[in-house]
Amino acid sequence: MILPHLSAVMNMVSAKPGLGALSIAIGVVAYSLYLWETAKKGGIQPHPLSWLLWGFVTAVAALAQWAKGAGPGYWVTAFTAIACFIIGTLTLTKHKLRFSLFDWVALVMGVLAVFLFALARNPTAAAVFATTADVLGYYSTVKKGWHYPHADSPICFALNSVKFIPAILALDAYSLATWLYPSTLVIINGGVAIMLFARRRRVPPDPIAHPERAG
């Protein structure tokens, strides 16, 4: 009776790196599509402040996962941080920089997350603050997407929701510090994708719209 259970556990352990790699592969597809849609003429216009903030807090979340032994499950979080910094930097020229109250609150939460991880050495609290800051960082993107749904990519948000599912299964250790961030991103990215799909059915494309005004 013990051997079959042991075999199942060993198979699950060996599958975790594969699940981690699958998460990254989905992320590569999502961000490649996002960058292509951003670069093409008349393409989408991401909100750079959201993406730069996501890069900042996602890096903290990845460090918290690593500190708590997340294993292959944290690979895609680290990859996501890098991708967010790249997208945020490349899209800075497409928007006028405007900071909303939510941007400032999210920034403060992100700084607290860094403090809790680096100085207080509390990965769990850092993960909670980083996740909260990440969710607040969606405000500018959601507001822009509601008014200008054709200025962002629902498919990419959907893929960025799906990519965290195998990442959660790939975790070597399950604790608040390791599963909170990816679980939240499954929900929030999926929600943004649904919102954009729904609004695109109701709002016609407007070639002369200025999405940055909604930021």
DSSP secondary structure, 155-213, as one string: HHHHHHHHTHHHHHHT-SS-SHHHHHHHHHHHHHHHHHHHHHHHHHHHS---TT--GGG
More confident residue, 185 or 151: 185
Q: Which amino acid is at 199?
A: R
**175 φ/ψ angles, rounded to the nearest 5 degrees:** -150, 170
**Amino acid 83: pLDDT:** 93
- pLDDT above 90 as % of the chain: 42
pLDDT digits (tens, 9 = 90+) for 5-45: 434 443 554 589 999 999 999 999 999 998 888 777 766 77
Q: Are 127 and 64 in contact (CB under 8 A)?
A: yes
- Rounded CA gap, 151 and 200, in Å? 10
Q: Please spell the DSSP secondary structure of 118-129, one letter per residue.
A: HTS--HHHHHHH
Reported confidence tier of residue 170, pLDDT bands at 50, 70, 90: very high
Q: What's the predicted TM-score (pTM) here?
A: 0.80
- Rounded CA gap, 117 and 8, in Å? 35
